[in-house]
Amino acid sequence: MDLDRISLLKAITRRMDWLGERQRVLAENVANADTPGYKPKDLKQVSFSELVRNSQVGMSASATQAGHFRGLGGRGGDAWKADRTRTYETAPNGNEVNLEQQMMTVAENQADHSLMTNLYRKQVTMLRKAIGGGGQR
């Protein structure tokens, strides 16, 4: 069974991919904390509910009257576009990396990734139980 066909699991996977990429960007910020003129980066925030909504397969809405809602289109490839972070202070050499802020963001990112991992695990366990495979492991 292809788990990517289940919209919730697909959304969780995409969120985990985004969090992994964000971790890479944050690590790059920390690594360049002493680089003159370096400006920290972050990824554009993507809401989890939007990922779930856009990952639903085979569902489309159509308006039969002018007042009805229109179907939601999919997102383009700009969902993970790099974004500048908010600057709290600038060093005399022009570096804008605030290590405390970056470490707080890394911890938040790690907690979000842990949450998504646990959610994915619970969903797979529920599927196993539903198809009679038991919920072991």
Between the alpha carbon of residue 15 and those of residues 68, 124, 136, 137, the distances in Å are 31, 16, 25, 23
Return the SS3 of 76: coil
Instruction: Supply the pTM of this predicted model.
Output: 0.66
The model's pLDDT over 46-92, given as tens digits with 9 standing for 90+, comes to: 776 776 676 555 555 555 666 554 433 444 445 555 555 566 677 77
- Domain residue ranges of the chain, discontinuous segments joined by +: 3-130
Distance CA 12, CA 51 (A): 8
Residue 71 DSSP class: P
pLDDT tens digits, 20-32: 999 999 999 999 9
Is 47 strand, coil or helix? coil
